[in-house]
Structure 1
């Protein structure tokens, strides 16, 4: 992926479209392969495995008789099992089933026991979650994880914000308050202009004085956000908001919340000082009590210090991967719950255009960022597919749960009507998120 960032002359085809196709292709393939392989383990024959929809670009047939195809519209995929009347496995092809031999009927999806059908359908989202776990675990094994101890691993330079700390320093207390872990250290030293630190350095305990460890410097800029549109870039230092000086990132956050828009930010960049104007955007933000709509400008902090890193063992790396995957799922669920409860609006829901933009930016940032993007999208796609909407995997699982309780499946007429409604809802959702993408450009 780093090579893509080095060929800007080839334009958006390489920097946006190709990374997007790679992300979507991997996530879709793993999802559909989950359906395919678990179905095969259950003795169900897959007639077609398709990446993409529409016109077939190329295909081949394997020794089991499954046709593997790549189609022109790469926004999804499907596995069509023997006995299905459509690619979504929404309803059985009853005339075809009646004409099948006994051997073929045993391999047909509609004739499989309920638990086998449910396992085959659930496997798609489960494989997406497994992909996320493996990616995040692999990143932990290769890049390491941050040590929780309040020990300095790296220091960074931000103009006008020097720090007295050095790599290897262990911070014992900030302004007389114990620093039990690295997050404690950043929180305790995030506000105010000066802090007294008790530090263990080279076996001796010393006292130091430093400014806030989270200065009002920009570490990252959200694509399409107010700061991005205003031309703010990573490395910029925001000196004031509407003329009110900001000595720390906490000051900046408070000023953005309290100032009357539009905001005028005083920016320092490579020795130059200039003003930019922007409008904060109300954004759903996770809090201890749920989701809260806050005015944000779309920047992240640039800490002056970073923790030590260590290489975890395989089991710890898997636990780290599972935790990261769950954080994506949990954040998504909380946002959806906040929308339903009226605590957040849906303007932050993104579609293919936003995913493409994010994929391009992640590719330019390097392989670790790009892999993290794949892990995040895979977990999100897995979760979306579990929503109990007919036409999605979660809708099929809901039908199977009803079948298990009733002792028989829903009638064809009711199942077809519910599936039609589900497809309409999915199409409307795609239109809505695409509108959000275009409105945010």
Structure 2
């Protein structure tokens, strides 16, 4: 019993808290833009399944908390289900007063705005969290100066020397040595361009970090890039840097760009044979990571929320039917053609998208559980 309570408090509750915030913000994006465009909204649900409790607002929308706290949805009047599949019969039989308020009857640009609002809301949440943390807490940093170069390493072969000052990596500004380490670590076996200062001049060096397996503080295996440089840190080297409100905006946008670019590069590795499926994670792994991060404190959990919110927002923009990106793809085609794709084509796409998303969920579930267990035995 004690073990179950510990598991519940350590993993399940942090995971559900993070997921609920992310999904609520995503669906609120859809809801607000739909409301601004005069769309009749039937239901706003946090969770799926049977309603635990709820209420109706003055606009006729049913707000509900449902039994299965793994997501949520906004359902418009005239939708057949929570996936926003149009109910042709309900749309055809709508009253003259209701018909103009149906989502299916809005112009294509209004529908694009409503669908895009969910992922955009996730990106905005990420920006607000990262910006607030940067302003409120600043960041500890050490000078981006190379202390030593390991003999026979990638760095030595590329020509990096002790005393070099790192200016940027792949166009990302390096404000501290920790930035340099992170930019290299997130590029295993991928070429990176390093701009450095030496003897009053600048030099650009292109090198490819070696892929190395390491364990984090929780015992999880991580595949990172290393080039063979180090820096001895004295207590006086560590400083707390607090950017101003304007500078923090640029730094936050740069951080978001970094996360998106590195995530895309990580996924791209699988198409060129560099990917490691052990690094892929589904709900079980996210729950595990959420519990582990929660042990580091509320700030670490909030930071994880920002990271997951951005990734979920970007994932939803993939042009796969069943995701927001699939809907946007259909609507953009409609905007170009001047008329929507046939229902047969759309239904075929949704079936394909459903099968693809389901296959991905099953794969990540097995990768998180069965495959992970088998790897521990090998």
- What TM-score bracket applies, with the shorter chain setting the length? 0.7 to 0.9
1:49 aligns with 2:44: yes
What is the match of residue 10 of structure 2? 15
What is the match of residue 379 of structure 1? 310
Mapping 1:427-438, distance limit 5 Å: 427-438=358-369
What is the number of residues matched between the two proteins? 321
1:293 positional shift: 8.1
What is the match of residue 113 of structure 2? 119
1:409 aligns with 2:340: yes
Judging changes above 3 Å, is the alpha-carbon distance between structure 1 residues 37 and 332 closer, same or farther for their aligned structure 2 residues? same
- SS of residue in 2 equivalent to 1:326: helix
1:181 positional shift: 6.5
What is the match of residue 440 of structure 1? 372
Deviation track 1:177-206 (CA, whole Å, cap 9, x = no partner) reads 35467969859xx9xxxxxxxxxxxxxxxx
Give the RMSD, CA atoms, in angstroms.
3.2
TM-score normalised over the length of structure 1 = 0.66
TM-score normalised over the length of structure 2 = 0.76
1:61 aligns with 2:56: yes
1:50–1:70 Cα contact (<8 Å) kept: yes
1:430 positional shift: 0.5
2:43–2:75 Cα contact (<8 Å) kept: yes
What is the match of residue 334 of structure 1? 265
Gaps of 5+ in 2: 146-159, 169-173, 194-207, 218-229, 374-378
Gaps of 5+ in 1: 1-6, 152-173, 191-213, 215-249, 254-282
1:311 aligns with 2:228: no
1:144 aligns with 2:138: yes
Instruction: Measure, in 1, the Cα distance between the counterparts of 2:100 and 2:177.
Output: 62
Instruction: Measure, in 1, the Cα distance between the counterparts of 2:289 and 2:247.
Output: 29
Judging changes above 3 Å, is the alpha-carbon distance between structure 1 residues 22 and 294 closer, same or farther for their aligned structure 2 residues? same
Deviation track 1:374-420 (CA, whole Å, cap 9, x = no partner) reads 00100110011001100000000000111112211111122112111
Judging changes above 3 Å, is the alpha-carbon distance between structure 1 residues 64 and 145 closer, same or farther for their aligned structure 2 residues? same
Judging changes above 3 Å, is the alpha-carbon distance between structure 1 residues 431 and 150 closer, same or farther for their aligned structure 2 residues? closer
2:189–2:211 Cα contact (<8 Å) kept: no
1:177 aligns with 2:109: no
Judging changes above 3 Å, is the alpha-carbon distance between structure 1 residues 413 and 132 closer, same or farther for their aligned structure 2 residues? same
Higher-Rg member (1/2):
1
Deviation track 1:227-286 (CA, whole Å, cap 9, x = no partner) reads xxxxxxxxxxxxxxxxxxxxxxx9xx9xxxxxxxxxxxxxxxxxxxxxxxxxxxxx9837
1:293–1:344 Cα contact (<8 Å) kept: no
- SS of residue in 2 equivalent to 1:440: helix
Instruction: Measure, in 2, the Cα distance between the counterparts of 1:186 and 1:101.
Output: 65
Judging changes above 3 Å, is the alpha-carbon distance between structure 1 residues 42 and 289 closer, same or farther for their aligned structure 2 residues? same
Instruction: Measure, in 2, the Cα distance between the counterparts of 1:286 and 1:102.
Output: 61
Going by fraction, where is helix more abundant, 1 or 2? 2
1:124–1:382 Cα contact (<8 Å) kept: yes
1:136–1:320 Cα contact (<8 Å) kept: no
Judging changes above 3 Å, is the alpha-carbon distance between structure 1 residues 410 and 312 closer, same or farther for their aligned structure 2 residues? same
1:134–1:318 Cα contact (<8 Å) kept: no
Instruction: Measure, in 2, the Cα distance between the counterparts of 1:67 and 1:429.
Output: 32
